[in-house]
Amino acid sequence: MTSQPPRARPYGGVPADQRRARRRAALLAAGLELLGTQGWAATTVRKVCAEAGLNDRYFYESFPDRDALLLAIVDEQVALGTDVILSAARRAPRHPQARTRAVVTAVFGFLTTDPRRAHILTHAFPSSPLLQRRRIEIIRTMAAIFAAQTHETLDQVPLPDVDVELTGLTLTAGLWELFTTWFRGELDVDRDHLIDYTVALVLSTVELAAPLHHHLR
């Protein structure tokens, strides 16, 4: 007869896996608070545990090290932001201008609703080589969304898929730097103007598809 490993007992009526999930959520929330207010260097294991009100040993129950926590925080926010983008796109009409404005406005809303997100964008990413590497992956994800939306809102895209991908990467990387500079307060432009400019830039870039394709032939 094969022996079965003992099951963890509920504590206070709460199963062990739920308690672990709650502790992990508390660590993520504490890490977001520190990363989004004090920065990358201040988001240490000890400070995160103190912020979460947990013993240090519980940290390693969920994360092997601080880097894993930092990536989990960023990935969680990226997932939330991606949902915001896709939800805005789905609700908007299938028209380039309307959908672009809806998505750009939603992005700014996401970044400004919780100031910690803008702080991570402007301070944590530039100061952490780890997050700089993750930034490249995020830009590729956003570029893929751009390509998909371009194909969905336009009846015909004259550029090959590879050139649509290149356009998405160029546009996404450029807008990342533009938004970062604006959130740092280094641009004397109000939010409405920046949204208008971003919408116009995206639409103009899409309109360049035909002449660009002509020059690439």
DSSP class of 39: -
b/e burial code for range 103-133 (CB count within 10 A of at least 16 → b): bbbbbbebbeeeebbbbbbbbbbeebebbee
Q: Please tell me the distance from the alpha carbon of residue 119 to that of residue 158, in angstroms, as a whole number.
A: 39
Q: Which of 108, 209, 100 is nearest to 163 (CA)?
A: 209
* Adjacent-strand bridge partners of 11: 14
Question: How far separated are the first and last CA of the chain, in Å rounded?
Answer: 72
The pTM score is: 0.87
pLDDT in tens, 36-78: 999 999 999 999 999 999 999 999 999 999 999 999 999 999 9
How confident is the chain (217 residues) per 10-residue block, as mean pLDDT? 51 76 96 96 96 94 96 97 96 92 97 96 94 96 92 76 88 96 96 97 83 75
* HEC-encoded secondary structure of 132-188: HHHHHHHHHHHHHHHHHHHHHHCCCCCCCHHHHHHHHHHHHHHHHHHHHHHHCCCCC
